[in-house]
Amino acid sequence: MFSFEGFVRIDAICRGIFRVAYLSVLWLATTVLGLVVLGFGPASYAMAKSMDRWLRHGETPSVARTFVADVRERPRESMLAGWVVLGAGAVIVTNVFLAPTWILQAVNVLALVVLGVAMAYVFPVMVATDVATTRRRFAAALLIGFGSLHWTIIGAAAVGVAWWLLWTYATPLLLLFGAGLPAFVVGLVTRIVFRPLEESPEVSGLSRPSLHHQMIAPATEQVS
C-alpha cells in the first residue's frame, strides 16, 4: 500500500510530466505561429524562463498565461539570439553536406556541436543573468556549457536516449515532449551550476548582476 507521502510524490511527478508536455506544446505553437524565424527566439526564451522559475525557484504559476507573458517580455533580444542560432545553424549544416573534403566536414560537425551547446544555454543566461549584449550572452552560454562539460554530456546523453525511446516506441509522444525534454534537462543543469553562485557568501542576498560577475569574472581573469 502507498502511503500519503507516496501519493503526493506520484501526484508531483504527474504534474511535472504534464507541465513539460504543456510547455513543449506552447513552444511548438509559438514557433510555428512566428514562422520559426520570428517565433523560435521568443518561444525558447519563454521556455527557459518557465523552467528556471519552476526548477530553480520552485514557482508553478499558470503555465499558459505566464508563457505568453514571457514571450512578450524581451522580444527583440530573444529574436536576435534566435536569428544568430538559426543563421549559424543553416550555414554550418550546409557546409557539413557541401564541404569538399572530410576535414572541413569534421570541422563543421564540431562547430555544430559548439552551436548546440551555445543554443542550449544562451536563453537560460538571458533569464538568470544581466549580461547586456548578445555576444556576451553566447560567450557566457559557452562558458557554462563547457565549464560544466560533464553535466552537459550527461544531459545530452539523457535527452538522446529519451528521444530514441520515444521515436522507437511512442513516436507521437516525441512531438508532445520533443522540445520540453531538453529544456527540462538544461533547467536541471543550470540549477546545479547557478546554485553555488547564489549561495556564495560574496553574492548572498544580492541581485542578478552579482551572479553575472561571479560567472564571467573568473574566465576574464584567466584570459588576461
Coil, strand or helix at 124: helix
Among candidate residues 135, 90, 140, 134, the one with its CA nearest the CA of residue 111: 90
Written as nine digits, the cell of 122 is: 544562451
Among candidate residues 12, 30, 7, 70, the one with its CA nearest the CA of residue 179: 30
Task: Give 203 or 70, the one with higher predicted confidence.
Answer: 70
Question: Distance (Å, rounded) from C-alpha 147 to C-alpha 122?
Answer: 14
Other residues' Cβ atoms within 10 Å of the Cβ of residue 55: 19
Residues 30-84: tens digit of each pLDDT: 999 999 999 999 999 999 999 999 999 999 999 999 999 999 999 999 999 999 9
Other residues' Cβ atoms within 10 Å of the Cβ of residue 90: 10
Report the predicted TM-score, pTM, of the whole model to 2 decimal places: 0.88
